[in-house]
Amino acid sequence: MHSFVRSGLLAATALGSALPLQAHAEEVPASAAPIATVSATVDAAGADSAAVDGEQRSSAGTGATDQGDIVVTARHRNETSQSVPLAIAVVGGDHIDNTGAFNVGRLQQLTPTLQFYSSNPRNTSVNVRGFGAPLGLTNDGIDQGVGIYVDDVYYSRVASSTFDFLDVAQIEVLRGPQGTLYGKNTTAGAINITSRQPTFDPEGRAEVSFGNYGYVQAKAAVSGPLSDTLAARIAISETKRNGTIWNSTTNKWNNDQSNTGLRAQLLWKAASNLEVSLAGDWSHQNTLCCATVFYAYVPTQKGVLVGGVLNRQYPALYDVAAGKAAGTNAYLTNPANQGFANRISDVDGELRAKQSIGGASLRAKLDLGAGTLTSISAWRFWNWDPSNDRDFTALRITTKSQNPSKQQQFTQELRYNQHSDALDFQLGTFYYYQVVNTNGYQEQGAAATKWLLSPSSDPANVYNLNVLNGLNSTNTIRLANTSWSVYGQASWRPLPGLTIQPGARVNYDKKSGSYNAVVRDAAGNLLTPGMVSTGTPTQKAQIGVLLPESYAPSFSAWNLSYDLTLSYDIAPDVHTYATYSKTFQTGGINLNGVPADATTGLPQTQYQTVAPEGVHHFELGIKSQFFDRKVTLNLAAFRTDISNYQAVFSSNNAASLSTLRGYVANVPKVRSQGIEADFSVRPSERFNAYANFAYTDATYREFTNAPPPIELSGGSTFSGTNCTIPTALPANVSPVSCNISGQQLPGVSKYSLSLGGEGNLPVKFFGKDGQIFLGADGNTRSSFSSNATPSPAATLPGYTLVNFRFGWRSDRDDKGRKIDVYGWVRNAFDKGYVEQLQVAPNSVGLLVANIGDPRTFGGTVKVEF
């Protein structure tokens, strides 16, 4: 048998590009698995219970109790999801695959309080309940507020969320602050991903899918013993798909998919009480991404009327930069300017989203009788090689814009868990070290001068001399990030049904970095900050576009997180809880550039560092099951108050030279509050359904110095704080700041809903027993703001997406073999929708969009043996 498994392991590697692995939750007999969701979803078989590797993993390894409960490791030990006193969404691997949720971006369609935004992998945000990361800006010196963990290893780069899920058993989305056990970077929540572990019983699985747009996805995995004490598992995946946006400038399809993933694991039972796991993974992505499409033009305060034309805004600038007279409205005849629904882009810059991510981890678990000691050591890397079009047009304005980056991290966690009838407790320590090296480059093109400079104030004729053509900036960014913490949590049961759970964590964080932007003109002449005052008109114009800057910020602080949860079991299947937690998001340093003094050109040092966020969180919840656990209903009400909220700013002051892409600073107060309801029903093994609803009211509570909205940006002078958007033509005056207290946080829909279900009938095919099934999943969300300062122009409409699947799956035979064959259609009604808006630089009124996938359809065959 061992030789068979060894051969199978080799075969899986060879077949990796043609066969896929089906990563799904471990099956429980249908009659024993009444529910597949806990605020989540049901898999195709209605069995989302998973084999998870908790601190006290059962020898059976099924991850399910006799009642078919879902087992989670949210508190670093095996527990049923209904008994954990926190709001948690559990999604099994089968449901992930069947609904096409192949990365975190697709996962948001199943968990309504999760929000995912990505203009490219580096500029990706994952938010829960409205919090997590500044929308639309990635800064090496700022941490995310939603922690991503794979097999207990922290992934510091959110770019990992754009990769395909690989050999996943289940995913837990923990909602609300998780600062005690998961650390500082979980002020909004955590995503806890569990992969399938090596087994001593031989098993394998393979899957292949084909679809429109040239979609091909293949996965494969095989697991089994190499000896009586050593087991191995290998999984591989490959995804290819043509682009879904036509680029009329390059005559190429953009936004394709090209992902490869590999994971290998060894499990060594070194002794009866000691298990050691060694895992390594590597994933690679190389796509023509990420093209934007025209969304809208909105008049700003930039420019003045010349012959009835706003000569410094998008329509006129497009005409002039394209070699036509302002006011000819040539931009209207461009097919790429006809709206996002036609899926046409005209960006001329090279597009590339190339990245590799991987690492290795060593986990050892020692059973000491009274408790379990666990050590997790991990090293990870992330290499990012991009190319973007930052002017978002077909014009030669910014010809190159790229920030290649390399990151390495090392983590070490040591924790001890102990269980007794009256008391559970956990003690641990965590160390984290990260190094980031980013080397950016930007170059302006032949149309930059006409686009970015005004001819009305041109004493040296710099406008006609095209002084910006060839202007370039080389940006060198360095970061060393160190964090250390100790933590503890206890669960004390003084009375039957009552549990008191206190927890605390002490963190020390230190960040040191540097930002150095060296600017040269086309002839290679160096520009210096002082030229903002002493330079020639040409040099002043050039520095106004690309700013030379150099500074070396640092930050360090101690912080304390603590929480207290009281839970009480009203009945065996009715659990209530109340939680208060005080935690923080670590402070940061701005490493994208900061505003500079308009007189000296020197960095304004007060913007170099960002203060930590302070988080106060309150939550009440009830988890209940009825009718012999055929119905589950969970409710949660929460309120999260954050002081010193970290948000994206842009300089809007005549005394400052603004950075190109904004910077992060603190907002005094924000708040998110809401209600979540999660319902699922399985009246019989022939039908299951779920519905998950979230109402989220996330607003600025105190933000009196916000940047003006898009409509009020771009003025040549700054005056007052009147932020009423005018109905008349622009006045060329922008407010110094705006009071947006009480307005909506970006990226948050007030209402979101996910729902779905599946029915099946017993049908025998090819002499095999099985079921024919029909399933549907849908999600809907209300409108949301796509800019830090809300405005009508930046508000995106809500949308609804619906997916269907239809097919046949066999019962598992006496040799453990199983086959599924089904067709699927995603975004079945071909809904055109916008995931995120971006604002073109220089306040010209151009809004472009990152749009979601169109209707896709195809078929899948998967086998298990």
pLDDT tens digits, 206-218: 999 999 999 999 9
CA atoms 452, 134, 126, 676: torsion sign = negative
Quick one: tokens of 342? 């036609």
Position 814 confidence tier, pLDDT thresholds 50, 70, 90: confident
CA–CA separation, 74 and 36 (whole Å): 17
Q: Is the model's pLDDT at 29 over the cut of 70?
A: no
Quick one: tokens of 814? 């006496």
Q: What is the model's pTM?
A: 0.89
Which of 84, 92, 98, 91 lies closest to 112 in space, CA to CA?
91
Beta-carbon contacts of 439 under 8 Å, excluding residues fewer than 6 positions away, are 403, 404, 405, 474, 475, 476, 477
**Residue 45: predicted pLDDT:** 33
pLDDT in tens, 427-444: 999 999 999 999 999 999
Q: What are phi and psi of 235, to 5 degrees?
A: -135, 145
Quick one: tokens of 229? 């004490």
Residue range 708-715: average pLDDT? 89
Quick one: tokens of 318? 């497009």
- What's the one-letter identity of residue 347? V
Residue range 564-569: average pLDDT? 97
Position 333 confidence tier, pLDDT thresholds 50, 70, 90: confident
Residue with the bigger pLDDT between 335 and 619: it is 619
Residue 434 in contact with residue 409, Cβ under 8 Å?
yes
Percent of the chain with pLDDT over 90: 62
CA–CA separation, 542 and 449 (whole Å): 9
**Residue 68: predicted pLDDT:** 53
Alpha-carbon separation of residue 754 from 89, 606, 775 (angstroms): 12, 44, 14
Q: What is the DSSP string of 449-474?
A: HHHHS-GGG-TT-TTTTTTTTT-EEE
Residue 406 in contact with residue 183, Cβ under 8 Å?
no
Question: To the nearest 5 percent, what fractions of the chain are helix, strand and coil?
Answer: 10, 50, 40
**Residue 530: predicted pLDDT:** 92
- What's the one-letter identity of residue 654? A
Residue range 754-775: average pLDDT? 94
Q: What is the DSSP string of 751-786?
A: EEEEEEEEEEEE--BTTB-EEEEEEEEEEEE--EE-
Look up tokens 């064959």; give the residue.
821
Beta-carbon contacts of 271 under 8 Å, excluding residues fewer than 6 positions away, are none
All domains of the chain, ordered by start, with CATH? Answer: 24-195+242-864 (2.40.170.20)
**Residue 652: predicted pLDDT:** 55
Q: Is the model's pLDDT at 653 over the cut of 70?
A: no
Residue 356 in contact with residue 369, Cβ under 8 Å?
no
Look up tokens 């472009």; give the residue.
848
Which of 816, 703, 709, 810 lies closest to 764 in space, CA to CA?
810
Quick one: tokens of 283? 């994933």
Strand residues in 59-145 grouped as ranges (E): 71-72, 79-80, 88-92, 114-118, 124-128
pLDDT in tens, 446-467: 989 888 887 655 555 556 678 8
**Residue 125: predicted pLDDT:** 82
Residue 110 in contact with residue 95, Cβ under 8 Å?
yes
Residue with the bigger pLDDT between 826 and 661: it is 826
For residue 625, give the DSSP letter. Answer: E
Residue 349 in contact with residue 398, Cβ under 8 Å?
yes
Residue range 463-480: average pLDDT? 90
Question: Count of CB atoms within 10 A of residue 366's CB?
Answer: 16
Q: Is the model's pLDDT at 657 over the cut of 80?
A: no
Quick one: tokens of 168? 């996943």
**Residue 672: predicted pLDDT:** 96
Q: What is the DSSP string of 686-712?
A: TEEEEEEEEEEEEEEEE-SSBPPPGGG
**Residue 116: predicted pLDDT:** 83
Q: Is the model's pLDDT at 14 over the cut of 70?
A: no
CA–CA separation, 816 and 481 (whole Å): 48
Which of 816, 826, 824 lies closest to 861 in space, CA to CA?
824
**Residue 716: predicted pLDDT:** 80
Residue with the bigger pLDDT between 585 and 125: it is 585
Beta bridge partners of 549: 517
Question: Count of CB atoms within 10 A of residue 707's CB?
Answer: 24
3-state secondary structure of 613: strand
CA–CA separation, 402 and 405 (whole Å): 9
**Residue 99: predicted pLDDT:** 67
**Residue 762: predicted pLDDT:** 96
Beta bridge partners of 509: 483, 557
**Residue 96: predicted pLDDT:** 74
- What's the one-letter identity of residue 483? S
pLDDT in tens, 242-283: 999 999 999 999 999 999 999 999 999 999 999 999 999 999
**Residue 58: predicted pLDDT:** 27
Residue range 568-583: average pLDDT? 96
Tell me which H or E stretch contains 674.
strand 663-684
CA–CA separation, 263 and 581 (whole Å): 36
**Residue 507: predicted pLDDT:** 95
**Residue 40: predicted pLDDT:** 36
Residue range 523-533: average pLDDT? 94
Residue 522 in contact with residue 445, Cβ under 8 Å?
no
